[in-house]
Structure 1
């Protein structure tokens, strides 16, 4: 029976408006006393555990390339059980590849929370973190030529292999369409690359013309001075990028929207993990890459002897391909999606950062360690880099038919 004043109906309406968090969940214990079945602390712990397992699943099990992750622990195990340096080097190399890819993924997730400009610079920095970590471990072992050749190989692979594959694949997919890119940003990066090549050219010219006042010491002093100048120039470039409204790294156009501090791009993509989860995974992946890089560097000479291949081939070809594997794939995929601007930003921007930051950084770190790291990359390597930068800059300048601005 419903009372004539309709109070029962009103009570039902009030209860229907109450949310699930407003109504305490009760249960009856063995002693007949009612108590809360789920406390606030237990509910928070449950949410944290759920988020942890969700982020763990996204990081470790969503990418097919993660099938190579077990090779990392195998490399550590084999290094303690056998003396096969070739196998340790191979497994370390394979184990670093998925870590580098996941490092790029977590950085891209962090971009949603940091904004486009800071996120783009963060993406470029962590995109080259693998090469820098390997270089620092090689410097600790006194393998200066390995550091020089691996950094040189990173620049050449980005500007020749990655950029060439991006243009080629994009041209195949959009055979009847002219792909467009922002020529102004490409020219700025090309100018920075030319400046970096000049910094590498002067110590080599000083060495091979035998005009040093103090043989050996003048070359290192000039390299350290040039490195400091390039680091200052790159810092100014970063400051300009952060303050400029024309963001060359901006993956989100004017149609993008911002909801609660989280950016969504034109395709409606949203972050898959939270900001703090991305930061924690960045730290974990960086530490694990550092550990594997130590085993990788220690096994380079043994692998060269076991496989009967020169160390220069390992340094110039194998190490850069592993370190830039994620960037290679992303640049090609963006070109096939008709986003040539992003492909150029990945390829040329990465080369710019290695030449203007990575190489001078290693010179300064070697200076601190007491290692005679300099900018004399030998005459052939320096000439190769100089010609590569000139060819790419000339191509970006005169391209008006199939690739134009």
Structure 2
């Protein structure tokens, strides 16, 4: 999910259209004949506009009597309705029991391989529900605040896992998992979207907003620059103070990248948002899924609950990485770069493919390239700053192999996007490129990782 997808400026207008009829129905249903004499007491205009129950599902939360006393039965109905929407409306939620199962396996058997696997599966539905709650909240906050919320929570799963890994001193796991998130979005997610859309619309070229793709490509190249210079400085041994200049440069560059990302948000929301208006209008008119389903208060509560759940499982996930690597005889680099990002981006994978098959390729690019931009220009610098606060020497030196992989990937994707069209063959090429990357990391041994020392 990318941030500007949820910043539909028509969301507020759609809410104002749908709210009034709902409130009118709530004022009529379940009332006796003599209650119509006091119609003015429960008219839509008399209900508080900021009340949780008047924002969504108001037909189940009437106010009773002249004193408008709160109905506890309506609160129960609202809670049940919210639970039904959040926990049972998405088919992927069938994986939620995997989270408690991981905890049971941890304390009953201590098998790190199964703990890691079950934690991965348990995080998938939580990550999808986190995106859902953020999108619902964006309907009430408006485009600017909604954009900031989605920028923060859009890749919250990866950031939460990274923070727990930083806390444990696993700096290389943090670097490689964030790198893997960028690679999976740019190659696997975008490739699957191009391929699926190309198969469905095989008789024509699908088109997308080339200007928006160019801006994102430029930001990704800037991120490559930020990662390339510390790596080159390290491997050429041209630092003024060896081991210190590299870290200082990383922290300075991270601050610059965060400023650049903040400017990017302002650029899209304020200065040049006209280029996205037509996309958002078409999306709001044609996409029936973009509608308010829960209230503002409910969205905030669920956002907190799901974030806590992801944080809880992430701790078990990080603790089991080393044991899973030994149990599966699999390099930690492969687990960090390939497995973790695929799970963290599972919901985004499905969204990008779905929109491409509906011939809404601009949204698919927003999901894939937009998420890569968030991680590279916000997620990575953010982790450097958090590591600085924690006293961990997190830097932008991702090592030569990883930096070269990112550089080549950005160049390949930039060439794919330069003409503003897509087809299934471009999707095949991107997917095959990702398979090459995955195979490369499967045979790659990270010489700087304390968790995965060189073999033989």
How far did residue 213 of structure 1 move?
1.7
- Within 5 Å, give how 1:9-20 maps onto structure 2: 19=36
The one of 176, 187, 198 equivalent to 1:160 is 187
The one of 363, 379, 384 equivalent to 2:405 is 384
**Alignment partners' CA distance in 1, 2:276 and 2:383:** 25
**Matched-pair contact (CA < 8 Å) for 2:185–2:369:** yes
The one of 98, 102, 119 equivalent to 2:129 is 102
**Alignment partners' CA distance in 2, 1:367 and 1:382:** 22
Find the counterpart in structure 2 of residue 290 from structure 1.
311
How far did residue 253 of structure 1 move?
4.0
Deviations along 1:316-370, whole A, 9 cap, x unmatched?
0110001111111101101111000011111111100100010011111111111
Find the counterpart in structure 2 of residue 319 from structure 1.
340
The one of 112, 120, 132 equivalent to 1:85 is 112
Indicate the structure (1 or 2) with the bigger Cα radius of gyration: 1
**Alignment partners' CA distance in 2, 1:146 and 1:66:** 27
**Alignment partners' CA distance in 1, 2:278 and 2:37:** 39
**Alignment partners' CA distance in 2, 1:323 and 1:351:** 13
**Alignment partners' CA distance in 2, 1:108 and 1:401:** 27
**Matched-pair contact (CA < 8 Å) for 1:201–1:376:** yes
Find the counterpart in structure 2 of residue 151 from structure 1.
178
Question: SS state of the match for residue 36, structure 2?
Answer: coil
How far did residue 125 of structure 1 move?
3.0
Deviations along 1:232-289, whole A, 9 cap, x unmatched?
1111212222313526666864478xxxxxxx64445421111111111011000110
Structure 2: stretches of 5+ with no match in the other structure: 1-31, 42-63, 425-456
Find the counterpart in structure 2 of residue 366 from structure 1.
387
The one of 56, 75, 94 equivalent to 2:102 is 75
Find the counterpart in structure 1 of residue 16 from structure 2.
none
The one of 275, 280, 292 equivalent to 2:301 is 280
How far did residue 19 of structure 1 move?
2.2
**Matched-pair contact (CA < 8 Å) for 2:205–2:421:** no
Deviations along 1:43-79, whole A, 9 cap, x unmatched?
5322222111101011111111111101111212222
How far did residue 21 of structure 1 move?
5.7
Aligned length: 370
| RMSD between aligned residues | 2.5
**Alignment partners' CA distance in 1, 2:422 and 2:317:** 45
TM normalised by structure 2 equals: 0.76
* CA distance 1:252–1:390, change in 2 (3 Å): closer
Find the counterpart in structure 2 of residue 181 from structure 1.
208
Structure 1: stretches of 5+ with no match in the other structure: 1-14, 25-37, 257-263
* CA distance 1:150–1:171, change in 2 (3 Å): same
The one of 222, 226, 249 equivalent to 2:249 is 222
- Within 5 Å, give how 1:92-131 maps onto structure 2: 92-116=119-143, 118-131=145-158
**Alignment partners' CA distance in 2, 1:304 and 1:18:** 68
Find the counterpart in structure 1 of residue 74 from structure 2.
47
* CA distance 1:23–1:363, change in 2 (3 Å): closer
Verify: 1:341 aligned to 2:362, yes or no.
yes
* CA distance 1:333–1:116, change in 2 (3 Å): farther
**Matched-pair contact (CA < 8 Å) for 1:134–1:294:** yes
**Alignment partners' CA distance in 2, 1:149 and 1:217:** 22
**Alignment partners' CA distance in 1, 2:422 and 2:102:** 49
* CA distance 1:254–1:333, change in 2 (3 Å): closer
The one of 149, 152, 161 equivalent to 1:134 is 161
**Matched-pair contact (CA < 8 Å) for 2:139–2:146:** yes
**Alignment partners' CA distance in 2, 1:193 and 1:255:** 27
TM normalised by structure 1 equals: 0.85
How far did residue 147 of structure 1 move?
0.4
The one of 359, 365, 372 equivalent to 1:351 is 372
Question: SS state of the match for residue 398, structure 1?
Answer: coil
The one of 235, 238, 243 equivalent to 1:211 is 238
The one of 294, 307, 315 equivalent to 2:328 is 307
**Matched-pair contact (CA < 8 Å) for 2:205–2:422:** yes
Question: SS state of the match for residue 74, structure 1?
Answer: helix
